[in-house]
RNA sequence: GAGCCGUUAGCUCAGACGGUUAGAGCACCUGACUUUUAAUCAGGGGGUCCCGGGUUCGAGUCCCGGACGGCUCACCA
């Protein structure tokens, strides 16, 4: 992640905080305390961003591929088909072997048993928290000693992430969702309990109460007066200095990654703020957020291969949606003139640094608008998000400096091709001539229809040049079965794709609302389907019926949220911005797993 | 799906040409240390070298097969 994104000015986090993109899971007491200056005696909780967001512990690049998959070994026989439903073995009902013995785990188990023998519950319960780490740092970061003395007792809960024994004292760092704070325990202050404190391991959850002071070296610290066991950690945390680097372990055990890698937390905090910012932007413009089916009998709205599933009680085939488009437009027919949905799509295709089988998109529709309106809306959305989240319109994307300041370049699809080939190309240009020119540029056109060649040329010769934000506009109709034809050129449609950093981030068009034209285009696609083109659109009769009911002119757009976040967080891999990216199971395929569905 | 690279202690990493008992730092354990902070000092324990075959007197190292991951390509957003 870039310095910009992580070590951003304070204002960025304050802005996000004021939008309420903070902690929501600590109950209403936490919510009640928002926005007020906390007084310890009021027992309020503070909601503040992680102060360590400013201190990136990972280098900006992920470095060369790492070896050391490092995670615990899992026995291959750890797989079980746990349930059998109607004779079909459940897939992926995996049981990890949790018996891997290593010295540190054994020691921790022994400590746990020792606690139980003393009548102490190692896995505690409710703990009333009065403060969070970041709140104390903000409130008392510059406080003088007298102020600290008068501040009173504080109670915090969290995970111990560092322990430094020092004679009859012990320093520790406690991490909660907002950041970390130092603890100082003394034998003379804790009495018998000091022996329990010394026995704590990094990774354990405890609750502490005590008073604030500042150490000789100036660090704000809680002098522990009492502490409570909240959860014993049986597994050691990764190394404190190098942390957890192994990419595979970071994805598989994201819980560990989140504990030890500040940057990972920052990415997902940014993700939440990004999505929150989008909602705020659209809500302010009268858009209504909706949710449409993820399981669809006819997967439509995009060109992609779907996942197939089955509903038992209804005994029907269903598909995970590849796009919400056709349902959202049904809502436009129903009079919801401005709608949007932020949700998952599923495509049964390759996995790469750019593609995860499930990915999140924003899709929105605006009646009485066309694609030119959406270009302006998109510019406004991106710049507003960048400004509020990152505090700038200037993004660092790998080696490239990208400026989001509008207006963005608009490049006609055929204009791009013409420039790339050094000849004027239009939909009417002789295909053989285009093929020759393409071959002259090192392209080997693999035959087919003219539009396939145009697409090839564009993707190979034009897209790689689109680093700065560029709207590619006016696509050939063959590539856009759901878009409205241009009034002055029936071979083209009112459509744009937004490219930033060579990647397509958005796709939008003026929606086809002529049911007769739509039906004709569906039928063309249906013929492709029959010829074995798995990616052709299916004929959705109800959708045509909806158009027959009358859909106002509208423009719609889809924006890839994961890719947008990659851009904002300067992350080269989509897996870095998805909490749990799809990976093959550890240890390979289950022996009793049936054939895969396609 | 193809190519290249990788997998060694809990974590991060070394391991020349195939040759004693596979190493380091952190983590862990024992001891010392009552304001440390990558605490320090002294001592110690910890390994299915990803899995399975093969070659060899001898394999972490070479060969073959497999698993998983990373990158690139293909498909795609």
Q: Given this model, what pLDDT does residue A241 score?
A: 86
Residue A230 has pLDDT above 90, yes or no: yes
Q: Given this model, what pLDDT does residue A279 score?
A: 98
> Taking CA A335 as the corner, what is the angle to CA A285 and CA A346, rounded to the nearest 5 degrees?
75
Which residue is listed with tokens 């066309």? Answer: A370
* Pairing label, strands A288-289, A400-403: unpaired
Average pLDDT over residues A411-426: 93
Residue whose C-alpha is closest to residue A556's, from A377, A305, A344, A313: A377
Residue A584 has pLDDT above 70, yes or no: yes
Q: Given this model, what pLDDT does residue A98 score?
A: 52
Average pLDDT over residues A108-130: 94
CA of A556 to C1' of B75 (A): 25
CA of A253 to C1' of B9 (A): 19
CA distance A533 to A526: 9
Among A45-49, A219-223, A239-243, A443-447, the minimum mean pLDDT is found in A45-49
pTM confidence score: 0.83
CA distance A393 to A404: 5
Q: Given this model, what pLDDT does residue A5 score?
A: 35
Average pLDDT over residues A166-179: 96
> What are the angstrom distances between the C-alpha of A528 and each of A125, A534, A538, A541?
61, 8, 10, 17
Annotate A521-547 with b (16+ C-beta within 10 A) or e (fewer). Answer: bbeebeeebeeeeeebbbbbeebeebb
Nearest residue, CA→C1' of B40: A166
CA of A82 to C1' of B38 (A): 45
CB A273, CB A296: distance < 8 Å = no
Distance of CA A565 to the CA centre of its chain: 7
CA of A519 to C1' of B57 (A): 79
Burial of A198 (0-12, 13-18, 19+ CB in 10 A): middle
Does residue A301 or residue A287 have the better pLDDT?
A: A287
Residue whose C-alpha is closest to residue A52's, from A270, A217, A263, A238: A263
CA of A555 to C1' of B34 (A): 70
How many secondary structure helices (H) and strands (E) does chain A include? 19, 21
Nearest residue, CA→C1' of B49: A68
**Residues A547/A552/A554/A556 CA torsion (nearest 10 deg):** -40
Give bridge partners of residue A46 from the DSSP assignment: none
**Sign of the dihedral defined by the CA atoms of residues A584, A590, A591, A594, in that order:** negative
Write phi, then psi, for A186 (nearest 5 degrees): -125, 145
Render pLDDT for A17-30 as a digit per residue (tens, 0 to 9): 332 333 333 232 33
Helix (H, G, I), strand (E, B) or coil at A106: helix
Residue A43 has pLDDT above 70, yes or no: no
Nearest residue, CA→C1' of B13: A68
Strands (DSSP E) contained in A299-383 are 308-311, 316-320, 338-346, 358-367
Render pLDDT for A368-384 as a digit per residue (tens, 0 to 9): 999 999 999 999 999 99
User: Which residues are within 8 A (CB) of A210 and not within 5 positions of it... i.e. 6 or more apart?
Assistant: A153, A154, A183, A222, A223, A224, A225, A226
Residue A51 has pLDDT above 90, yes or no: no
Which residue is listed with tokens 């989240």? Answer: A389
Q: For residue A303, give the nucleotide whose C1' atom is nearest its CA.
A: B76
CA of A360 to C1' of B76 (A): 15
Residue A337 has pLDDT above 80, yes or no: yes
Average pLDDT over residues A431-457: 83
Q: Given this model, what pLDDT does residue A148 score?
A: 93
Helix (H, G, I), strand (E, B) or coil at A48: coil
Nucleotides of B under 7 A from a protein CB: 1, 5-14, 25-29, 32-40, 45-46, 48, 50, 66-77
């Amino acid at each position: 992640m870039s310095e910009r994104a992580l070590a951003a000015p304070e204002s960025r986090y304050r802005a996000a905080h004021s939008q309420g993109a903070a902690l929501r899971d600590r109950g209403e007491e936490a919510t009640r305390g928002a926005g007020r200056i906390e007084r310890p005696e009021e027992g309020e909780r503070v909601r503040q961003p992680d102060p360590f967001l400013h201190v990136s512990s990972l280098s900006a690049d992920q470095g060369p591929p790492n070896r050391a998959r490092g995670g615990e070994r899992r026995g291959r026989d750890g797989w079980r088909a746990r349930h059998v439903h109607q004779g079909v073995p459940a897939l992926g009902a995996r049981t990890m072997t949790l018996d891997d013995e290593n010295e540190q785990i054994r020691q921790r188990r022994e400590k746990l048993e020792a606690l139980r023998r003393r009548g102490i519950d190692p896995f505690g319960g409710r703990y009333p928290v009065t403060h969070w780490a970041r709140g104390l740092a903000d409130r008392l970061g510059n406080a003088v000693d007298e102020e600290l003395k008068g501040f009173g007792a504080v109670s915090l809960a969290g995970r111990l992430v560092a322990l430094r024994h020092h004679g009859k004292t012990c320093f520790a760092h406690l991490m909660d969702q907002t950041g970390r704070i130092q603890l100082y325990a003394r034998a003379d202050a804790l009495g018998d309990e000091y022996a329990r404190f010394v026995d704590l391991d990094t990774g354990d959850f405890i609750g502490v109460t005590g008073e604030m002071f500042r150490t000789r070296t100036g660090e704000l610290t809680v002098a522990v007066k009492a502490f409570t066991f909240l959860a014993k950690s049986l597994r050691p945390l990764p190394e404190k200095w190098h942390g957890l680097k192994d990419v595979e372990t970071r994805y598989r055990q994201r819980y560990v990654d989140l504990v030890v890698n500040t940057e990972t937390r920052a990415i997902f905090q940014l993700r939440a703020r990004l999505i929150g910012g989008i909602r705020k932007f659209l809500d302010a413009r009268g858009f209504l957020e909706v949710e449409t089916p993820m399981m669809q009998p006819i997967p439509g709205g995009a060109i992609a291969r779907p996942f197939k599933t089955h509903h038992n009680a209804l005994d029907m085939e269903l598909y995970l949606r590849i796009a919400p488009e056709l349902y959202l437009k049904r809502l436009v027919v129903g009079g919801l003139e401005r709608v949007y949905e932020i949700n998952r799509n599923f495509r049964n295709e390759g996995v790469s640094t750019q593609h995860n089988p499930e990915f999140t998109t924003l899709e929105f529709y605006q009646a009485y608008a066309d694609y030119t309106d959406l270009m302006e809306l998109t510019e406004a959305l991106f710049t507003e998000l960048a400004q509020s989240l990152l505090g700038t319109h200037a993004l660092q994307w790998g080696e490239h400096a990208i400026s989001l300041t509008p207006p963005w370049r608009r490049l006609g699809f055929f204009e791009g091709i013409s420039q790339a080939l050094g000849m004027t190309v239009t939909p009417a240009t002789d295909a053989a001539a285009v093929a020759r020119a393409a071959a002259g540029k090192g392209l080997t056109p693999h035959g087919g229809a003219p539009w396939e060649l145009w697409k090839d040329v564009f993707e190979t010769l034009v897209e790689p040049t689109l680093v700065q934000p560029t709207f590619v506009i006016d696509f050939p109709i063959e590539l856009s079965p759901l878009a409205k034809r241009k009034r002055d050129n029936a071979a083209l449609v009112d459509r744009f794709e937004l490219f930033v950093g060579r990647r397509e981030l958005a796709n939008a068009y003026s929606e086809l609302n002529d049911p007769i034209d739509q039906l004709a285009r569906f039928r063309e696609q249906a013929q492709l389907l029959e010829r074995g083109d798995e990616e052709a659109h299916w004929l959705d009769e109800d959708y045509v019926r909806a158009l027959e009911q009358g859909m106002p002119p509208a423009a719609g757009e889809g924006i890839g949220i994961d890719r947008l976040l990659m851009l904002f967080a300067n992350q080269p891999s989509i897996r870095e911005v998805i909490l749990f990216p799809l990976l093959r199971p550890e240890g390979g395929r289950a022996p009793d797993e049936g054939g895969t569905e396609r």
